Amino acid sequence: MIRILLTLFIGMMTATIAPGQAVVFGRAADLDTGAPLAWVRVSLEAPSGDASRAAWTDAAGRYALAGIPAGRWRIRAERISGTRRVSVLSPVITLSGAVTTLHFELPSDPKEWLGASDPSPFRTKNLGDITGIPREGRILDASGRAMPGVRSVLERLAEGFVRGLVMAAGRPVPEAVVRLGDAREAVTDANGRFFLDAVPPGRYDLHVLRENARLDASAVDVRPGENIFRFDLTRRP
C-alpha cells in the first residue's frame, strides 16, 4: 500500500513540474533504528551561496521540495537534539527537470559518535568553535545506494532553536502568527507547526494570533539549543 501511495505521489508531482524545474522528495530516518525523524530540516543550497530552499520533515519523516530551478545544488539535512545539531551535506549534484528521491539517515546518540574511549561527545578545535566528528550519516537514492562524498558535521548550539505547535479544540491551527519579542515572528504551516532559528537566549514575550483567536502574551525562556512550545488558542468573541 505504501509503495502504491508513493507511486501515485511521484506521478502527481511529475505531472505538475514546470519546464526547467525539479522536485526533490524523500524521508529522514534514524541510522540505528530506522524510525522516521520529524523536524529534520532539509535544504538545497546553491554552490555560490546565493540561493537556498528548505522544508521540514513531518511526523512520518517525509519532506518535499518543489519548484526547484534545474541546476547545481548541495543538499543538507540537519537534526537538532538538545544543544546538539548533526547534519549531513552532499557534494554538488545536478538536478534536472524531474523528480529526484533522496533519503537521509542520521545517527541517534551523540554520546557514541566519537567512540566509547572518548568521555566527551565533542573535540575542541579552538575557543568558540566546538565541533565533533559524528559517526557518518548517509544520503541514499531511491534504490538505497549511498551517495559518495557526503560530509557529516556535529555542532554545539549557542543560540536557541524554537519550534512548536499551535492547537485549537484539539486540532492544528494553520496560518497563525507566532510572535517572539518585538522582531521575530513565524507563521504556522498546515499542521500547525512553527519554527524560529538562531534566537539569542533570554526571556521573551510570546504571542499567538489568528483572526479572532488569540492567546495572551506568555513569558518564555529560550535556552541554547532546542526549545519546544505547545499552545492552545483561546477563542474570544
All three cell numbers of 186, joined, read 513565524
Alpha-carbon distance of 193 to 142, in angstroms, equals 28
How do residues 184-209 score in pLDDT, each as one tens digit? 999 999 899 999 988 999 999 998 88
Same fold, 2-156 and 160-235: yes
Q: Of 28-32, 57-61, 127-131, 172-176, which range is least confident?
A: 127-131
CATH 2.120.10.60 fits 160-235, yes or no: no
Nearest alpha-carbon partner for 189 in 54, 16, 83, 87: 54
Any idea which architecture 2-156 has in CATH? Answer: Sandwich (2.60)
pTM: 0.76
Q: Is residue 121 very low, low, confident or very high in pLDDT (cuts 50, 70, 90)? A: very low
Label the pairing between strands 177-180 and 184-187: antiparallel
Q: Is residue 115 very low, low, confident or very high in pLDDT (cuts 50, 70, 90)? A: very low
Nearest alpha-carbon partner for 86 in 52, 49, 111: 111
Helix and strand totals (H; E) in the chain: 1, 22
All three cell numbers of 128, joined, read 568558540
How far, in whole angstroms, is CA 126 from its chain's centroid? 28
Each domain of the chain, given as residue ranges in start order, spans 2-156, 160-235
